[in-house]
Chains A and B, each alone.
Chain A
Amino acid sequence: MSLVPVYRPRPSPLHAARAGVGAGFCCALALTGALYRHPLVLGATLVAIVAAGVAAGVGSEMRRSLVLALPLALLVTIINPLVYAEGGTLLVRGGELFGRRIDITLEATLYGALTGLRVVVIVVALGLLSAAVDPDELLRLFRRVSYRSALTASLANRLVPVLARDAMRMSDAARCRPHPPGRLAVVRAALAGALDRSVDVAAALEVRGYALGGRPPRRRRPWSRHDLRFLGAALGIAAVAVGGAIAGVGEVQPYPTLELAWGAAVWALSAAIVLLAVAPFAGRAARLGVGGAP
């Protein structure tokens, strides 16, 4: 099973929305994570993403995204206090390394943890995108802008799991040898095999008329209620997040002592993000196939 969430068609409003809108929804949530460091806002955004994922039927993919993000978050949490010695509350007085004094402060540690939480929010939001938005449809949009780059991305998206399977197979074959070869030899052979695969795929593309390729024609598709609801949610989340950031809502002052704003505006912003994210999944209109019925 892949650690990175993989798209599978499912009967959910998010899957039913057009790829551009679905991606916009996920990116708006990721944007919120990128704009804020306040734990309440980040926590609310994480809750919003996970709730949206569960409502879209990709709860296990959300769990896997969290598993993928946690080591990164932990790394950031650990590195930040080692790199920044600012902050008024000294936890550990370290020695000198390369002429630089290593002191660990409470503020730098907490600020590292908040940055780690931010990483978690962004990774999980992208995990939702990866699990619930059709990559082919999404890359088709980009093919109109940059044909070759988008097709290369499509191929990478398709071939990475194929090459991973090849590498796994070669590793099994190495275990079957009476004298198993070194890991480096197997990696080298797997890379050579990847080149062979690439040549085969290039040949397949040639005979499918790749050389004639250009901008695919625009596809007219009527806007469904799911498209409109998720577009509304994405615009709402982006507007609230950007507006809040401009207005200075949820500001964090890490040094010399960590100061967090806990006013009504932060609570309102956090609540708005959660409500906007779950709104497209709520109500009769979110049900597949019955929303438009009289």
Chain B
Amino acid sequence: MTLALARDFSYRYPDSPRPALDHVSLAIAPGTFTVLGGVSGSGKSTLLRALCGLVPHFHGGEAAGELRVGGLDLRAHGPGELAAVCGTVFQEPETQVVMGGVRAELELPLEHRREPAGAVARAVEETALELGIAHLLERRTDTLSGGELQRVAIAAAMVHGPRLLLLDEPTSQLDPVAGDELVWLLRRLNEDFGTAVVVAEHRLERCLPAADRVIAMAEGRVACDLPPAGFLEWAATAAPALETPAARLFSLAGLRPPPTTVKEARAGVEKVGLRPPPTTVKEARAGVEKVGLRPPPRPAGPAPAANGARRLRLPWRRRAGEPPALALRDVWLEVEDGPVVLRGISLELAAGERVALMGRNGAGKSTLLRVAKGLVGPSRGKVERAGAVALLLQNPGDYLIHDHAVEDAGERGVASAGLLGREQANPRDLSGGERQRLALEVVLSGGPCAAVLLDEPTRGMDRVHRDELIARIDQLAGGGATVVVATHDTEFTAAFADRVVLLGQGVVIADGPPVDVLGGGRHFSTQVARITDGAALVPEEGAALLRAPVSVEAAP
């Protein structure tokens, strides 16, 4: 028995020259957990929109072939009827919550179905308990955090008991903690209630441990449809951009089979006896240094004070007498009638330094960038800037306000964004990655900057675009600008940063090289760091470490 069945299903958006889905054939069985992978524009979101009936009924366009969901033929049934079988959750929680209160939000889908009041009350209560949001029922939706809002959206999609739950990058707006919690919540729904889950996600390492099956999309077609281990074998040769860091570590080290979880990876490393995992971070680091993968850490300044706030930490790259590109001195920000967002932040950032600003949602990262740029004045303390400061806020679309790309960024900016020949394109028609690049050129169009600040630039970005962004960051830092990136993405941080500042409740709680901050962390650590006990952060380092076993003398 299948819950959803596609046979040679193709779809083309209105006015689009090429099909978004091209002869897709697949079957989703009840109770399975399926992850949809693929680079941006590969057709993941369109496939989800087809499964819930928005394609073609809501978006228009041309569809061909057969698609049945819960036995309902897409040609004859629209999203309203398919909603009885499947619940759908999109990427942006803000626009899929339609009512002012959480309880009303959960009641709405049932009222659409004219369920009696008793059934509505019971379904709302049970769904809230299942999803751990019973304490939010009386809250207003505009007071919820992103993670809470996403849970409410899932509850609203689940409240009528659909057999299939479709989610389009549900963790892209969340911090690592909330993202991991959400994936495990989905797994629990899948295991305890038999709900089939189909989730499209760029961060495959987050979802694969929960998945039964991975469907990889490429140019609108199903490129691979295998269990996680099989998918990772396939990705190693056919689509390296889709490999998880752990799988990439294994493929670079020549190990097989590729692991789907950190636990499997650790067991795999020990099993082949390549090298016993080091017992302490200190041992591990000594090993890495010995094989010459990483230079010993640069001498750091005095450690932060107990509250991490007041003590100045000298940057590693700054030469004596050279003024910092950007300095925050005892910066406080107290919102009127609101919380204290920044509490005595002191940071000095040298020219050419690449800094990752990390911390959970609400830690003060975005506010710190806004204060550094001067969009918000500090309540106390001061900000010193050696020159112009460019800030790219979270939504690149906010910078693109004209009808043509060239009007926003100029011809030079369009060329720097790699969009030569698309000067007259409407920015709204560009992909997420292209918009990001164009918006960055908009803020850089004023000439050389002392500091470039980027706020969550990798949200919803695939690895190909992420690597392009790293290349641009290297270029900017090479040109003498300090680049500060507020991000939740630990893998991205490990790949680009030479300093990590971790914020918690408006206070600097860690400040050091990535190997110190990410290697010694739990949530704020990379997958490779978890496998190698913090000895290596990225797959290339980890693989070299595994390939070159070393005997480590006890550190003095």
B-side residues, CB < 8 A to A, are 52-54, 57-58, 78-81, 83-84, 87-88, 90, 92, 94-101, 103-104, 108-109, 111-117, 138-143, 156-157, 160, 337, 370, 373, 375, 388, 390-393, 395, 397-402, 428, 442-443, 445-447
Report 28 cross-chain contacts, Cβ distance below 8 Å, ordered by A residue: A6-B140, A6-B142, A7-B140, A136-B101, A136-B103, A140-B104, A158-B141, A158-B142, A175-B375, A176-B373, A176-B399, A178-B446, A185-B401, A188-B401, A200-B90, A201-B98, A204-B90, A204-B96, A206-B54, A207-B79, A208-B109, A208-B112, A210-B80, A211-B80, A212-B81, A214-B114, A215-B114, A216-B114
Identify the interface centre among B52, B80, B447: most chain A CB within 10 Å of its CB. B80
Given A173-B399, A206-B79, do A219 and B117 touch, yes or no (CB 8 Å)?
Answer: yes
Q: Is B100's CB under 8 angstroms from A209's CB? A: no
Bound-state Cα–Cα, A82 to B94, Å:
47
Task: Let me know if A285 is at the binding interface, CB within 8 A.
Answer: no
Given A137-B104, A173-B393, A211-B80, do A200 and B96 touch, yes or no (CB 8 Å)?
Answer: yes
Given A178-B446, A203-B54, do A210 and B116 touch, yes or no (CB 8 Å)?
Answer: no
Bound-state Cα–Cα, A177 to B397, Å:
13
Give the residue of A157, A196, A201, A210 whose beta carbon is less than 8 angstroms from that of B112.
A210
Complex contacts, A197 vs chain B, CB 8 Å: 95
Residue of B whose beta carbon sits closest to that of A186: B401
- Chain A's interface: helix, strand, loop or mixed, by majority? helix
Bound-state Cα–Cα, A82 to B493, Å:
66
Complex contacts, A213 vs chain B, CB 8 Å: 111-112
Identify the interface centre among A188, A196, A210: most chain B CB within 10 Å of its CB. A210
Complex contacts, A207 vs chain B, CB 8 Å: 52-54, 79, 83, 87-88, 157
User: When A and B form their complex, which 10 residue pairs have the shortest distance between CB atoms, in order from nearest?
Assistant: A178-B446, A211-B80, A136-B104, A189-B401, A173-B398, A204-B96, A200-B95, A216-B111, A209-B112, A209-B83
Residue of B whose beta carbon sits closest to that of A175: B375
Q: Is B97's CB under 8 angstroms from A158's CB? A: yes
Q: Is A157's CB under 8 angstroms from B100's CB? A: yes
Q: How far is the CB of A169 from chain B (nearest CB, A)?
A: 5
Task: Let me know if A75 is at the binding interface, CB within 8 A.
Answer: no
Q: How far is the CB of A138 from chain B (nearest CB, A)?
A: 10
Bound-state Cα–Cα, A174 to B398, Å:
8
Bound-state Cα–Cα, A203 to B54, Å:
7
Given A203-B54, A204-B90, A217-B116, do A177 and B442 touch, yes or no (CB 8 Å)?
Answer: yes
Q: How far is the CB of A262 from chain B (nearest CB, A)?
A: 42
Give the residue of B54, B99, B117, B140 whose beta carbon is less than 8 angstroms from that of A8.
B140
Q: How far is the CB of A156 from chain B (nearest CB, A)?
A: 11
Q: How far is the CB of B169 from chain A (nearest CB, A)?
A: 14
Complex contacts, B90 vs chain A, CB 8 Å: 200, 203-204
Give the residue of B57, B98, B104 whose beta carbon is less than 8 angstroms from that of A204.
B98
Residue of B whose beta carbon sits closest to that of A8: B140
Given A175-B375, A177-B443, A206-B58, do A170 and B398 touch, yes or no (CB 8 Å)?
Answer: yes
Q: Is A9's CB under 8 angstroms from B138's CB? A: yes
Bound-state Cα–Cα, A180 to B488, Å:
29
Give the residue of A136, A173, A192 whose beta carbon is less than 8 angstroms from that of B100.
A136
Known: A206-B78, A206-B79, A209-B160. 4 other contacts (CB 8 A): A169-B395, A170-B398, A178-B390, A208-B157
Q: How far is the CB of A208 from chain B (nearest CB, A)?
A: 5
Task: Let me know if A134 is at the binding interface, CB within 8 A.
Answer: yes
